[in-house]
Each structure stands twice: as structure tokens, then as C-alpha cells.
Amino acid sequence: MGTEVANGDGSSNCGNVAGGDGGSKAIYEKLMSYAFFVLGVRRSTSHEMREKLKRRCKEKFGSQRFAEQSAKKIVSPEAQTAIECVINRLTELKYLNDEEYLADFVRNRLALKPRGIGALKYELRKKGISQAAIEKYFSENEIDEMEVAGRITESKLARMKRVPEQKKFSKIAMLLNSRGFKPHTIYEILNNLKNGKTTND
């Protein structure tokens, strides 16, 4: 989500930045243009966009006015204000929406690159999605780990027809563990296999 950038009296400073005629406006316009370019290539979370804009500032605005900040690998206060205003504006325009991103990410992962809940949460945290938003989503959207793990197992077994049974179990266990499934889910999958049941029984 966007972060409110306020003046000393509590009013928003973004109108001044976007509508002014100083250096802040120039930075804002260049960063907004770059942000649209980034979004045209790949969807981003608010955190990812903020980090990309910071890197852009260090690359483009570090040699002259912001040489001191660039040398220290930090972003100047002026540039930081412009970045937050860009984030706020993109959020207002619905180009950045972390809640929608989270839901779409989980849905696509489960369909194309299945993972356990633990791995999904880890990936979302790396993308800067807040812990509160992650927990809220998974509390409201139940995911059947056994079903997901079963699909992965069936696909793996189809490629291991000549592998000895015991070795199959160890490979399945390692695969599911690497995909972030809970130990209990892995145990149930292996137990079903040993008992001759289908993986989702």
C-alpha cells in the first residue's frame, strides 16, 4: 500500500511535488514514467516497486545533486518523497494493489508451480507483502495441502516408473519438503503410498 507523505501541518505533500516546478517535480515525473515502464514489463507489489524506484534514483540522480547520498547508497529526502508520491498515485490508480497481487499470486502458483502453504507465505514475504495481509488471506481462503501435494506426487511418480519403491519414497519426501509442505502432510502422502492408496485418499 502507499505511504502518506505529509507536510508539517499534516496535509499531503504529494500535490506540491506533482504540481510544483522544482527538482522534486522533475524527479516525480521521471519516476512515474519509469514506474509505468516497469509495470508494462511485469506486475509488482508496492514493496518491489519502491525498491526499483530507489535503485533508479541511485542510478539516475546520484552523480550531480545527490552525489553525497548516492555515494552512501541511500536515497535523498527529496527523492524519497517523490518515490512515496509515485507509490501513492499508482495505488490510487489501482496499478498497485497488494491484496489483489497476493490472491492472484497464490492462485497462479497453485495452478502452475504448486507449493505448500509454508513456501507460499515465504515467497509472499520476500515480495514485501505484510504478514497481516498474508495471514488474513490464508485464514479466509482454505487450501487443501493434501490435494496439492497429491498432484505433485502423482506427477513425480509418473516419471519414476523404473525407480525402486524405497527410493521413490525418499525422493517424494525430499520434493514435498522442498516445496514447503507441512511434515504431517508429507507423512500422510507417504503413508498412503505405502498402503497402496492413491495420494489423495
Tally: H helices and E strands in the chain: 11, 0
What does the DSSP assignment read for 66-116? THHHHHTT---HHHHHHHHHHHHHHHHTTS--HHHHHHHHHHHHHHHS---
All 3 cell numbers of residue 138? 490464508
E strands of 105-201, at which residues?
Answer: none
As a whole number, the mean pLDDT across the chain is 86
pLDDT digits (tens, 9 = 90+) for 134-193: 999 999 999 999 999 999 999 999 999 888 888 999 999 999 999 999 999 999 999 999
CA angle in degrees (0–180, nearest 5) for 180-182-184: 150
What is the C-alpha to C-alpha distance for residues 148 and 188, in angstroms, rounded to an integer? 13
CA angle in degrees (0–180, nearest 5) for 176-165-112: 30
pLDDT digits (tens, 9 = 90+) for 96-139: 999 999 999 999 999 999 999 999 999 999 999 999 999 999 99
User: Which pLDDT score is estimated for 120?
Assistant: 97
CB within 8 Å of 101: residues ≥ 6 apart: 43, 44, 45, 127, 129
- pTM of structure: 0.79
What is the C-alpha to C-alpha distance for residues 117 and 194, in angstroms, rounded to an integer? 24
Q: Are 32 and 89 in contact (CB under 8 A)?
A: yes
All 3 cell numbers of residue 201? 485418499
DSSP letter, residue 128: T
β-pair partners for 144: none
Q: Are 17 and 25 in contact (CB under 8 A)?
A: yes
Give Cα separations from 177 to 120, 134, 170, 200 (angstroms): 13, 21, 11, 17
Amino acid at 44: S
User: Which pLDDT score is estimated for 82?
Assistant: 92
